[in-house]
A = this chain, B = another copy of it.
Amino acid sequence: MTTEPRQGAQAIRRALMVLRILAAGRETGVPLTEVVQATGLTRPTVHRIVHVLIEEGIVERHEKTGRYAIGGQVPELALARPSRSPLLAAADNILARTSQRVGDTLFLTVRTGNDTLCIDRRIGSYPIQVLSIEVGARRPLGVSSAGVAILAAMPTPDARKIVTANEVRFAGYRTSVATVLSQIALAKRRGYNLREAGLVQGTKSLSTWIKTPDRRPAAAITVSAVRTRLGPRREQEVAEILLEAALAIEKKIESLP
């Protein structure tokens, strides 16, 4: 039962749009033009918003590069909340165990708005590990393996809506609405998502989804490994392990609160 629109706050909504784009830029930040492109706002508007946010300490500007990034006051506001989310708490042990069993790096990714956000990473024991994605990494839903998995876990019309909304941002990741939609369809049929060409060359990823007690997608577990380590046979094995882990986390969430 989602409450419908609400007006009288265009500026605030726009500011948040900007913030979310900046968040995707992590420490390095994002140049103004890119924010303009990603938000669809005009340049003077973005400029004004960003500079007010700087005055307020919510955004920082890197002197050298001129890029804009999330400022120091955001973590300060975040301190007002209990430190670990219920999902993170529920997943903790299970991820640790699963990461040991698999030996490759595991990622826990949630949906936030139209983005995916990596909230946990467990490094495996195998000597070659894919570490490109870090905790805090944020990308448009549909771009990453986890993103496709999460989209595959929701009703097709909903997924379609999100993918369309992200269309403008896909360009930067060399993908398209059509590609993403077909990936979602494939993942739905398979029961998990598989990505042959990861964001890093020569890697392969496999994601399963986690749903909340009310059956809405909550997160995804992803394994990333160098391609040679995920042949057809091992793919089956790993998929089963991840599906198991996802189920275990779902159960734990139900039992906790």
A residues bordering B, Cβ < 8 Å?
A: 3, 6, 8-13, 15-16, 19-20, 22-27, 48-49, 51-53, 55-58, 69-70, 72-82, 85, 110, 112-113, 117, 119, 135-136, 138
The listed residue (B49, B70, B74) touching A12 by CB distance below 8 A is B49
Tallying the copies of this chain within the complex gives: 2
Instruction: Report the separation of the CA atoms of residues A233 and B39 in the bound assembly, to the nearest whole angstrom.
Output: 62
Whether A55 pairs with B3 at a CB distance below 8 angstroms is: yes
Given contacts A55-B3, A57-B113, contact A48 B9 (CB under 8 A): yes
* A134 smallest CB distance to B (angstroms): 9
The contact sample of 8 A-B pairs, CB cut-off 8 A, is A8-B52, A10-B11, A15-B15, A23-B77, A23-B80, A27-B81, A70-B80, A74-B78
On chain B, the residues within 8 Å of A85 by CB distance are 72, 75
Whether A25 pairs with B75 at a CB distance below 8 angstroms is: no
CB nearest neighbor in B for A11: B11
Whether A77 pairs with B20 at a CB distance below 8 angstroms is: yes
* A119 smallest CB distance to B (angstroms): 7
